[in-house]
Amino acid sequence: MANDDVVLYEKEDRLGIITINRPQVKNALSMPVFSALDRVLDKIAVDEEVRTLVVTGAGKGFVAGADVNELPEHTILGGWASSRYQQSVFTKLERIGKPSIAAIGAFCLGGGLELALSCTFRVASSKAKIGFPELGLGIMPGFGGTERAVRTLGYAKAADLLLSHLTIDGVEAYRIGLVHRVVEPDEVLPHAKEWGRRLASLSPVAVRLELELLLHGQGSAIDHGLALESALGAMAVTSEEAKELLAKFLAKQG
């Protein structure tokens, strides 16, 4: 599969649809995925025809997380550099000036949840599996997950989700405010598209300005938090404990 094939992009009138396309590994986020997504977002940013985005994953799921096969090779400096680049791609999505909707199917874990949190809105299957499993592997979210979880859920709920490395379903995710809509599994993508079409009917100028105001209302301190997350995450992923836990996890996957 060519690198550009790991992220698919199509337009339906004023709706742009981004699909993470690695179904053989549950759409795990590798560096080629981030590079391809980066290029797609640059294309969308200058396309005035596209007013709203839907982000989804190939198959019935969303994204199962980061590609853990890449993690054991990280050094502290390499982990920092990778994290900062990966964060920049998700920040580009968040700040692109067009509403985005994450259509969450069967699984949305780790880096997948970080991707979903970078979208303006989230619609999930009632049976979706959603959570941050990273601390169980001795690592941390590195794509902006901690910062965005706190901003979305508040400290108490974010701490519970992250430190307990809970996996919750779509109904519970809706109850705690992690997703905006919960629907039956076969309705996720149709619902996201219909929602996107309604948003696309609004004035693109007014929408862009409102999105800027919403982001500003969250405070500019997120940039400092993202930098700290990259530094601490790079330290965690290079620890001996993380290496042992990741090796055990990868052995089970093999």
**Active-site residue numbers?**
114, 134
**Helix locations, 1-144, DSSP H:** 31-45, 76-94, 111-118
CA 249 to CA 137: how far, in whole Å? 8
Residue whose C-alpha is closest to residue 233's, from 87, 63, 32, 55: 87
How many CB atoms are located within 10 Å of the residue 125 CB?
30
CA 14 to CA 50: how far, in whole Å? 4
What residues contact residue 17 under an 8 Å CB cut-off, 6+ apart?
9, 10, 11, 53, 54, 56, 193
CA 82 to CA 87: how far, in whole Å? 9
E strand or H helix that includes residue 157: helix 155-163
CA 172 from chain center: how many Å?
A: 18
Q: Which residues in the chain belong to E strands, given as ranges?
A: 7-12, 15-20, 52-57, 100-104, 107-109, 121-125, 129-131, 167-168, 181-183
Q: How many Å from the N-terminal Cα to the C-terminal Cα in the chain?
A: 21
Q: Which whole-number Å values give the CA distances from 62 to 80, 124, 125, 161, 205, in the listed order? A: 26, 10, 10, 19, 30
Residue whose C-alpha is closest to residue 125's, from 38, 216, 186, 195: 186
